[in-house]
Chains A and B, each alone.
Chain A
Amino acid sequence: MSSERADNHIIGYGTLTAVWVALLVLTALTVWVSRHTPGIGHVWGSLAIAAAKGGLVIAFFMHMRYEGRLLRWLLFLALVTLVIFIGLTFFDVLYR
């Protein structure tokens, strides 16, 4: 079963460290974007970087990269729902 596959998979220290460094770099990038991107651009930039960071955490720290298709689909469903919730809420704010 897919859960057994995830249990048995051990991620090496090298990969984990690389992901951690990538997260730190992306955090620094968020600060840079907030100061150097004009207008509403910094909001979209920050959201994009946050999504990338979340993706790394889910893929490596939460082992989703090594899970079966079913669990990936279920997570995808949850993320799509979240995007729709945020999107419809922004829809009101943008046109108010």
Chain B
Amino acid sequence: MEPTDLTPPPAGSFWNDTGRSGITSWIFSTDHKRIGLLYFYSVFGFFLVGVLLGLLIRIELMAPGRTIMGPQAYNALFTVHGVVMVFLFIIPGFQGSFGNLVMPIQIGARDVAFPRLNLFSWWLYMAGAVIILTSLFTGGGPPDTGWTFYVPFSERTGTNVSLAVFGVFIVGFSSIITGVNFVTTIHRLRAEGMTWGRLPLFVWSLYATAWVQILATPILGITLVLIMAERILGTGLFDPSRGGDPLMYQHLFWIYSHPAVYIMILPAMGVISDIIPVFARKPIFGYRMIVFSSLAIAAAGSLVWGHHMFTSGMSDIAILVFSFLTFIVAIPSAIKVFNWVSTLYRGSISLEAPMLFALSFILLFSIGGLTGLILGAAATDIHVHDTHFVVGHFHYVIFGGSGFAFFGAMHYWLPKFYGRRYAEKPAVIAWALMFVGFNILYFSMMVLGLKGMPRRYYDYLPEFAPLNLTSTIGSWILAAGLVLLLVNLFRGLRHGERVGSNPWGGATLEWSIPTPPPTENFAEEPVVTHGPYDFRGAGIP
């Protein structure tokens, strides 16, 4: 790498061409690229907080008994880890950062449909985040309910649950606003020739996700308000002694929170669908079926929330129906995996960092998805419900899937916006460390779960000690890889080799404009004449 050239980005790029200066040119900017970077650094900052909390949890579980903290601190730690990772990192992550950065350019637009609303969504997100963080240090201390805030415990605990759920409520509004903005943008602002059949698959995935955000998030909002009503007014909605129903809470919570898993994973699938053709030098296999599967996952995934409640006392018929519906989601998910693999078949594969993250996504997501079927089948779920198997499965899908796709997207798109790139060799080493560490960390958890170790327990039997130690060592390897990734990527974006407009040879529109992109993206509105993966049509060898 050439770590020298420190000249500023060219005039006219979105880095320079603003009416304001300093911090106000960012926090009051309505440019989708600046808002995208605001989101990126915000969500990634919270991701690092979540990682730190996760590492502390693993250190505590390294050996039986007390290691570094007491049980109350442990309860608070896994709750805050979950709330931060789910609500502050991965749900807003793709839409807010890469969705904002890339989507308007990919459809040939100058900005999103409602730029001010876009900025407002970031402000709401930050306000919610501040409220959630405030809940850790005020009132009765950090919430200790787990990120699911299950009743009746969340009604009765003396910790600061009310403020935390209020923060999540605010973040939910931010998510809805982003969803409305993206649906409107994709419907209304596509450039001439950018037909629905020429939309990049990342845009299709954002579109499907945006609908889930619009339709499901209000239900989370209502549910969180009901928790506050229970705690503050004592309404008895979930209290059987007063005619309430605790299972109703679980229904309401999972009606949102299961589709939320698809808010987390669908854009990641879009990223993978964009990366693989570029690094395999082949058009995507089965474009229409991937589009269909994105919409099908969004639709079918919204109907399966009951599989979180198989052991809660739900009716047998409902268990049967939800179990059946859960298996249906596997079909569109498998369509995607088969199409990605078919795209790779006989491709001219280039194993650079974005591609390595994309390939590991396929493997890790497949493991996460297949273990999900074990949980979706009522008979097997009863044996592994609320064990470490669930924790392992969930992390395979969300960290191995969405997380690795996020790292892939960072390596793939950030050089476009910074005009510089990272060093390849350290990036590959970082990926290898993370891949190995990840599997040691979470595969151990799944085996622990099969052996019967419950999740969320502070202490455990001595027979579980060796695998817990193994899992903790895996977390350190993963963390080492993450540190290397961060140092290499951000050092590269600041001091690395300059890149041209199309460093990877992509055929989507973002690669047709200068690097870094100009403030309004296109000098004049583009006319699209070829598909997003038609390299020959785009004149790319």
Chain A residues in the interface with B (C-beta under 8 A): 70, 77-78, 81-82, 84-85, 88-89, 91-96
Sample 18 A-B pairs with CB under 8 A, ordered by A number: A77-B215, A78-B214, A82-B215, A84-B302, A84-B303, A85-B219, A88-B303, A88-B306, A88-B321, A92-B251, A92-B315, A92-B318, A93-B245, A94-B315, A95-B315, A96-B313, A96-B314, A96-B318
Whether B315 contacts A96 by the Cβ 8 Å rule is: yes
| Distance from B320 Cβ to chain A, minimum over Cβ atoms (Å) | 10
Whether B247 contacts A92 by the Cβ 8 Å rule is: yes
Q: Given A78-B214, A78-B215, do A92 and B306 touch, yes or no (CB 8 Å)?
A: yes
In the bound complex, what is the Cα–Cα distance between A89 and B251 (angstroms)? Answer: 7
Q: Scan residues 235-250 of chain B and give those whose CB is less than 8 A from a CB of chain A.
A: 245, 247-248
| A84 partner residues in chain B, CB cutoff 8 A | 302-303
Of B187, B211, B245, B318, which contacts A91 at CB under 8 A?
B318
In the bound complex, what is the Cα–Cα distance between A95 and B313 (angstroms)? Answer: 11
| B251 partner residues in chain A, CB cutoff 8 A | 89, 92
In the bound complex, what is the Cα–Cα distance between A78 and B180 (angstroms)? Answer: 13
The total of Cβ contacts below 8 Å across the A-B interface reads: 42
| B303 partner residues in chain A, CB cutoff 8 A | 84, 88
Q: Chain B 297-339 against A: per-residue CB contact (8 Å), 1 yes, 0 no?
A: 0000011001000000111111001100000000000000000
In the bound complex, what is the Cα–Cα distance between A84 and B316 (angstroms)? Answer: 19
| B306 partner residues in chain A, CB cutoff 8 A | 88, 92
| A70 partner residues in chain B, CB cutoff 8 A | 187
| A94 partner residues in chain B, CB cutoff 8 A | 315
Shortest 7 CB-CB contacts between residues of A and residues of B? A92-B318, A95-B315, A96-B315, A95-B317, A89-B251, A81-B215, A92-B314
Q: Does B255 contact A (CB under 8 A)?
A: yes
In the bound complex, what is the Cα–Cα distance between A77 and B321 (angstroms)? Answer: 22
**B219, B315, B318: residue with the most chain A Cβ atoms closer than 10 Å:** B318
**Seed contacts A91-B321, A95-B318, A96-B315; 12 additional CB < 8 Å A-B pairs:** A77-B211, A78-B215, A81-B215, A81-B302, A85-B302, A88-B306, A91-B315, A92-B318, A93-B315, A95-B315, A96-B313, A96-B314
| A77 partner residues in chain B, CB cutoff 8 A | 211, 215
In the bound complex, what is the Cα–Cα distance between A89 and B313 (angstroms)? Answer: 13
| B219 partner residues in chain A, CB cutoff 8 A | 85
Q: Interface of chain A, helix or strand or loop or mixed?
A: helix
Q: Scan residues 203-244 of chain B and give those whose CB is less than 8 A from a CB of chain A.
A: 211, 214-215, 219
In the bound complex, what is the Cα–Cα distance between A31 and B255 (angstroms)? Answer: 30
| Distance from B254 Cβ to chain A, minimum over Cβ atoms (Å) | 10
Whether A89 contacts B214 by the Cβ 8 Å rule is: no
In the bound complex, what is the Cα–Cα distance between A89 and B247 (angstroms)? Answer: 10
Whether A95 contacts B316 by the Cβ 8 Å rule is: yes
| Distance from A70 Cβ to chain B, minimum over Cβ atoms (Å) | 8
Q: Given A78-B214, A92-B247, do A85 and B255 touch, yes or no (CB 8 Å)?
A: yes
In the bound complex, what is the Cα–Cα distance between A73 and B269 (angstroms)? Answer: 27
| A81 partner residues in chain B, CB cutoff 8 A | 215, 302
| A89 partner residues in chain B, CB cutoff 8 A | 248, 251, 255
In the bound complex, what is the Cα–Cα distance between A9 and B46 (angstroms)? Answer: 47
| B248 partner residues in chain A, CB cutoff 8 A | 89
In the bound complex, what is the Cα–Cα distance between A78 and B303 (angstroms)? Answer: 14
A80 to B, closest residue via Cβ: B215
| A91 partner residues in chain B, CB cutoff 8 A | 315, 317-318, 321
**A70, A81, A84, A95: residue with the most chain B Cβ atoms closer than 10 Å:** A81
In the bound complex, what is the Cα–Cα distance between A85 and B214 (angstroms)? Answer: 14
| Distance from A91 Cβ to chain B, minimum over Cβ atoms (Å) | 6
| B314 partner residues in chain A, CB cutoff 8 A | 92, 96
In the bound complex, what is the Cα–Cα distance between A95 and B55 (angstroms)? Answer: 44
In the bound complex, what is the Cα–Cα distance between A93 and B215 (angstroms)? Answer: 23
| Distance from A24 Cβ to chain B, minimum over Cβ atoms (Å) | 26
| B187 partner residues in chain A, CB cutoff 8 A | 70
In the bound complex, what is the Cα–Cα distance between A35 and B306 (angstroms)? Answer: 34
| B302 partner residues in chain A, CB cutoff 8 A | 81, 84-85
| Distance from B162 Cβ to chain A, minimum over Cβ atoms (Å) | 25
In the bound complex, what is the Cα–Cα distance between A47 and B256 (angstroms)? Answer: 23
| Distance from B108 Cβ to chain A, minimum over Cβ atoms (Å) | 19
A85 to B, closest residue via Cβ: B255
| A88 partner residues in chain B, CB cutoff 8 A | 303, 306, 318, 321-322
| Distance from B164 Cβ to chain A, minimum over Cβ atoms (Å) | 25
**B187, B215, B219: residue with the most chain A Cβ atoms closer than 10 Å:** B215
B248 to A, closest residue via Cβ: A89
A3 to B, closest residue via Cβ: B188
In the bound complex, what is the Cα–Cα distance between A70 and B408 (angstroms)? Answer: 36
B316 to A, closest residue via Cβ: A95
Q: Chain B 183-207 against A: per-residue CB contact (8 Å), 1 yes, 0 no?
A: 0000100000000000000000000
| Distance from A43 Cβ to chain B, minimum over Cβ atoms (Å) | 14
In the bound complex, what is the Cα–Cα distance between A91 and B315 (angstroms)? Answer: 8
**A77, A82, A84, A96: residue with the most chain B Cβ atoms closer than 10 Å:** A96
B309 to A, closest residue via Cβ: A92
| A93 partner residues in chain B, CB cutoff 8 A | 245, 315
| Distance from B248 Cβ to chain A, minimum over Cβ atoms (Å) | 8
| A96 partner residues in chain B, CB cutoff 8 A | 313-315, 318
| B255 partner residues in chain A, CB cutoff 8 A | 85, 89
